Amino acid sequence: AWALRAAHVAIPWHRVVGVGGHIKLRGATAMEQRLRLENEGITFRGRRIHMRLHEFRFEAARPKGARPSAKNILQRRPRPRRPH
C-alpha cells in the first residue's frame, strides 16, 4: 500500500501483489486478479508472478520539485573495495 501512495499515480488494484509476486487475495477475487494479470501478459511460475520479468522498482520518494543535495549524491558513489 505504501508503494501506491509513493507513486502518486493511479495503479489498478489487480497490479498490487505481495512480496515475491504472491497474490495475497483469496478465493474468486484471487482468481480474478490472476486472470487480469495474465490478460496483460504477466507470466507466473507456479503461484507466483515471474518477478525477474515483471517487477517494478519505485524510486525513493522526494518532495515534489526537490533535487538531491550534493551530499546525497556523493554518498551514493560506490566505495572502493579493500583488498582482502
Domain regions of the chain by residue span: 2-75
Beta bridge partners of 3: none
Enter the pTM of the model.
0.59
- Report which of residues 36 and 9 the model is more confident about: 36
SS3 49: strand
Distance between CA 37 and CA 14 in Å, rounded? 7
> Largest Cα–Cα distance in the chain?
56
Residue 36: strand pairing partners: none
> pLDDT tens, 30-75?
999 999 999 999 999 999 999 999 887 777 766 676 665 555 545 5
